[in-house]
Structure 1
Amino acid sequence: MKTPKTLFLAWQDPNTRSWFPIGRLTFDGMSYQFVYTQGVKEAQQKCGFEPLSSFPELNKVYTSTQLFPVFSNRLMPRSRPDYSSFIQWLNIPEHEDDPIAMLARSGGQRETDTLTVFPRPEPDSDGRYHFHFFSHGLRHLPQCAIERINLFVPGEKLWLSHEFQNPYDSQALTLNTEDHYIVGYCPRYLRSEVFKLLWQDPSLVDLRVERVNRPPTPLQFRLLCNITAQCKDGFRPFSGQEYQPLIEEDMILETML
């Protein structure tokens, strides 16, 4: 049986700006399935999260042969004249631009709500994991940093740094160049997993420039990065309790039969 493609849905509390993984979307080649994850409990307890209108029941397995609207509405229509440019920004070959791949790379985030999506990476043949993401926070950077980004070449090495004294976010992870420019921030929803990898062995985490989309590309799609990590001691990213489904896996499997 082919391994289903998996995306996680994260929700951001508009007041605290904290991110919580609240759901899991899978696609087995035939149908889509959505379930809430354990992270929704923390979102409810700490920030009063309410179930999404598309998925009103927390303890239910939702299935469909079509991508659920809450996800499909985050995709750029193929009819858009700038669709081919968008595919290039994401660095996805046109023959591989399926909905899951598009959402995984773009994040599916819109200015009008507090949701984003990200993929559960699968190890490659060498047991390494790859995380792609667009650098966050570029609109807060000085012009000299943006100019430095525009000079990047694919494969250029970057470094992660923890801003302990950031008054707005003490867990902030900056992306840094060898010549000491800050060129953005690691997405908040990815940080806990990156911290775990760094604590295991910083030398096993490699951050590189994947692609630079020069002006007039919007800043949120300007700098595409790639983290490659060799995990130790059986560690698997996004396998913590908050990523586990609220419903027992056996019940989920029954809906797929």
Structure 2
Amino acid sequence: MTRSIKYLAEPKQLLLAWQAPDHLGNRQRWAVGVIDISGQECSFRYVTSDSEFRALNGHGREKLIGLGFLGYPAFSMQRPIHRSEVLPTLMRRLPPRSRPDFGAFLQLYGLAPDANPSDFALLAYTEQNYPATVFPLLIR
């Protein structure tokens, strides 16, 4: 009998992580952004403070930039905070709930096929992990 989670805890904050391409030989997950939720509103900001970046990653930003990090394609690094379309943008990385095999997708992550997680919880429990993603999400 396979065990699965039906009732998921609701996260309050997620970290956007980045991994350098395989050929660079550094597979560390770098926490590069923070996603907060308040009600139905999500916001995204890059980790720009050196002290916060070091606390999350154990290294300075110069190493990340040296590996080629250019930001998440949908969120400009020039804006301090993004409030518009954050959740829908991130959800595009996952299959739609309307797919007939969506229950099987949930099972890949140890979730019950009839679980009904919020979009934010779904991003957290799947880590926004779809084939070839270099931007997993982590619960903070």
Which amino acid is 1:19 matched to?
Answer: R
Q: 3-state DSSP class of the match of 2:13?
A: strand
Contact conserved, 1:4 with 1:29, CA < 8 A, in 2?
no
Contact conserved, 2:103 with 2:113, CA < 8 A, in 1?
no
Identity of aligned residues (%): 29
> Residue 17 of structure 1: CA displacement?
2.1
> Residue 4 of structure 1: CA displacement?
7.2
> Structure 2 CA distance, aligned partners of 1:4 and 1:54?
22
TM-score normalised to the size of structure 2?
A: 0.68
> Structure 1 CA distance, aligned partners of 2:63 and 2:74?
17
Contact conserved, 2:87 with 2:120, CA < 8 A, in 1?
no
> Structure 2 CA distance, aligned partners of 1:100 and 1:8?
12
Q: CA RMSD in A?
A: 2.7
- Larger relative CO (CA 8 A, sep 6+): 1 or 2? 2
Going from structure 1 to structure 2, the CA distance change for 1:116 and 1:57 (only over 3 Å counts) comes to same
> Residue 56 of structure 1: CA displacement?
1.4
Which amino acid is 2:17 matched to?
Answer: A
> Structure 2 CA distance, aligned partners of 1:86 and 1:48?
31
Larger radius of gyration: 1
1:82 correspondence with 2:89: no
Q: 3-state DSSP class of the match of 2:87?
A: coil
Q: 3-state DSSP class of the match of 1:97?
A: coil
> Structure 1 CA distance, aligned partners of 2:46 and 2:71?
9
> Structure 1 CA distance, aligned partners of 2:93 and 2:66?
27
> Residue 92 of structure 1: CA displacement?
4.9
> Residue 30 of structure 1: CA displacement?
2.5
> Structure 1 CA distance, aligned partners of 2:14 and 2:63?
18
1:17 correspondence with 2:37: no
Matches within 5 A, 1:243-254: none
Going from structure 1 to structure 2, the CA distance change for 1:96 and 1:46 (only over 3 Å counts) comes to same
> Residue 83 of structure 1: CA displacement?
1.0
Contact conserved, 1:43 with 1:49, CA < 8 A, in 2?
no
Q: Which runs of 4+ in 1 moved over 6 A?
A: none
**Number of positions where the alignment pairs a residue of Structure 1 with one of Structure 2:** 117
Matches within 5 A, 1:1-257: 5-14=12-21, 15=24, 16-37=26-47, 38=53, 41-64=61-84, 67-69=87-89, 71-89=90-108, 90-92=110-112, 94=114, 96-120=116-140
1:107-163 deviations in whole A, cap 9, x for unaligned? 11233331101112xxxxxxxxxxxxxxxxxxxxxxxxxxxxxxxxxxxxxxxxxxx
1:8-56 deviations in whole A, cap 9, x for unaligned? 1110011122221101111111311000113582453441311223111
> Structure 2 CA distance, aligned partners of 1:93 and 1:65?
27
TM-score normalised to the size of structure 1?
A: 0.40
Structure ranking higher in strand proportion: 1
Going from structure 1 to structure 2, the CA distance change for 1:117 and 1:32 (only over 3 Å counts) comes to same
Which blocks of at least 5 consecutive residues in structure 1 are unaligned? Answer: 121-257
> Structure 2 CA distance, aligned partners of 1:6 and 1:115?
16
> Structure 2 CA distance, aligned partners of 1:66 and 1:52?
12
